[in-house]
Amino acid sequence: MIRIAVVGLGFMGKTHIGAYNQLPNAKITALCDRDPDRVNLTSLDAGGNIETSSGSVDFSDVPKYTDYDEMLAKGGFDAVDITLPTDVHAAFATKALKAGYHVFVEKPLAMDYESAMLITAAAEESGKVCSVGQCLRFWPLYTEVKKVLDSGEYGATRHAEFGRYSPPATWIVDGWSENSSRSGNASLDLHIHDVDIILFLFGKPQSVRSVGVPDGNGFFTHISTVYQYPEVSVTSTGGWGFSPDFPFSMRALYVLDKATIEMDISKDHPVMVFPYGREPFPLELPEGDGYRNEIIDFVERCESGKISEIVSPSVAAESVRLTRLEIQSARENREIVMD
């Protein structure tokens, strides 16, 4: 049984707790939030853009803390799950690793590559499991398509495009995500999901060229990027400057030699395959979502002590690095070549 402390009881904290609560080999044994009302959690209703957890919970027997250092010192858990605003990920994650706990930390791993590398170094020194919430690497909408692309059944992938569009995040506590020095705005917070999946599917691009809607603080409410690869053209767009009723949307399009594959979560069949010479068909997707699957993986790793190569801090740091290069490209209005 892996004993978990969850720190930050907002949208993602509640989402993770909902996932742990379904597992026979995990138990919440500590809760922490600096807000004394929020720490007394009684409901998992979070109001986020993709809700996978809801309903009432009874944590009356679970120790609760408004002070993180006090919680780390008291202990009573094996792993710390950090679902806090991005600007404090590095400080909180390195502290927990240095104190000898396994760590799950939400994406983006950190505000910049240097801070992400602090977590990477602390994780490597500790020898503890440290997984990052780059959940698309566990989401069947993407992982099942990756299997098709990698199989070569429909030939080579010639073009891929990704979209992530969101109304403003109304659930956010204290409006931290609107402060781009704490979140990196949509250009880091939202868009990093597609950057990460592009790295997962196609590896490191040769260069990026981005444009965006600037927020006056060096970040962007929308960002669009062209990724240069030798044999596939890749583009992506992400933003959250849409009107309040615009539905949250995740999309992708893959153009292969012998088929086109479309992903759109608003459709009844979210992934459709359109092969040449055959009727289109929906791609079969296993049960489960990325949030639940990443937590299952994390708990299993805490049990085995086996470190992830898919969502390790060093892998997630590369997603921060590439996203920051895109932001730089849009700021400086030029192509950035990757070393």
Ligand X SMILES: NC(=O)c1ccc[n+]([C@@H]2O[C@H](COP(=O)([O-])OP(=O)(O)OC[C@H]3O[C@@H](n4cnc5c(N)ncnc54)[C@H](O)[C@@H]3O)[C@@H](O)[C@H]2O)c1
Asked if 97 contacts 123 with a C-beta cutoff of 8 angstroms, the reply is yes
| Least distance from ligand X to the Cβ atom of residue 291, Å | 7
Residue nearest to ligand X as judged by C-beta position:
10
| Least distance from ligand X to the Cβ atom of residue 32, Å | 6
Give whichever of 33 and 326 is closer to ligand X, judged by the CB atom. Answer: 33
| Least distance from ligand X to the Cβ atom of residue 134, Å | 8
Give whichever of 12 and 119 is closer to ligand X, judged by the CB atom. Answer: 12
Give whichever of 78 and 189 is closer to ligand X, judged by the CB atom. Answer: 189
Residues contributing to the site for ligand X (CB under 6 A): 7-13, 32-35, 38, 68, 83-86, 88, 106-107, 133, 135, 171-173, 176, 189
| Least distance from ligand X to the Cβ atom of residue 66, Å | 7
Give whichever of 68 and 220 is closer to ligand X, judged by the CB atom. Answer: 68
Give whichever of 78 and 196 is closer to ligand X, judged by the CB atom. Answer: 196
Residues in the chain: 339
Give whichever of 223 and 273 is closer to ligand X, judged by the CB atom. Answer: 223
Instruction: Decide: residue 13, CB within 10 A, 0-12 exposed, 13-18 middle, 19+ buried.
Output: buried
Count of other CB atoms within 10 angstroms of residue 129 = 27
One-letter identity of residue 80: V
| Least distance from ligand X to the Cβ atom of residue 284, Å | 24
| Least distance from ligand X to the Cβ atom of residue 79, Å | 17
